[in-house]
Amino acid sequence: MLKLPQELIKEILSYLNARDYMRCIVTCKRIHVLKLPFQCLFGMQDVERALRHQDEDACLSMMQSPLFDYDHIFITNTIQLPVLQFALQFRVPFFIEQLLRHPKCDPTWNNHVAIVISAAFQPDHLEMLLRDPKVNPAAQEQRALRVSCQEGISQSVALLLDDPRVRHICGPMDGLELASMHGHDAVVELLLGHPSVYLDAYDLKRAFDAAWHKRQATILSLLFLDWRFLPNDTESEDHALLTG
């Protein structure tokens, strides 16, 4: 454990209290305390405030600090998140772009959760993530695609389906069934027409049942009119209602 003279501790604390971060950094460098936590210099309140209020100058100045921790920042006393995931959740476009361009930023943290968050909440930055060779968009059994289908983010669904590493895995609670259940007709139409998505009558029947239970009329019509759909697989009452 590192022990510092009392006078030096007081000097560093005085700089922190005055928010004179540059002088604090210089002092830490002088005594070779290069592992002083980023939180000690800026504090979680400063990071959160900068992200919440879209303070570009504050965010960029933090990134320029030699002590900036790209792997972890404190969210609470017990939970830590990488700054990229934190920025994605707060939806700070300019900061996300800066982070993705920085070599120290790891977009693969926690089994590629960043691309899942981006697909669901930040589709504008999904393309940038997909260009990173370290990122695996098919991680966690195509979770990014399933989440974007469930949330109805057609822009994310289209980008993911166009990526050769991603494929729609058919089965219970797949992308088509989730989109049908939640009434996302644009996503359903995209999945039905995309050349990379292989669907058979059973897949459409499962999606049809999900849409039927939620009374998603537009999606029921889309599925019923698809050439792969077999009317005999539906209940006679359902068929009568759709055919008039």
pLDDT tens-place string over residues 42-54: 555 566 667 767 7
pLDDT (0 to 100) of residue 176: 96
pLDDT (0 to 100) of residue 219: 96
Residue pair 143/135 in contact (Cβ under 8 Å)? The answer is no
Of 121, 102, 23, the closest CA to residue 59 belongs to: 102
Whether 220 shows a pLDDT value over 90: the answer reads: yes
Between 107 and 89, the more confident residue is 107
Residue 202 pLDDT class (50, 70, 90 cuts) = very high
Residue 31 pLDDT class (50, 70, 90 cuts) = low
Strand-pair partners of 74: 80
Residue 172: count other Cβ atoms within 10 Å of its Cβ. Answer: 7
Distance, CA of 159 to CA of 183 (rounded, Å): 20
Whether 55 shows a pLDDT value over 80: the answer reads: no
What is the average pLDDT across 75-79? Answer: 49
Upper half-sphere CA count for residue 86 (Cβ side, 13 Å) = 25
Whether 240 shows a pLDDT value over 90: the answer reads: no
Of 152, 59, 156, the closest CA to residue 115 belongs to: 156
Q: Which residue has the tokens 């920085």?
A: 102
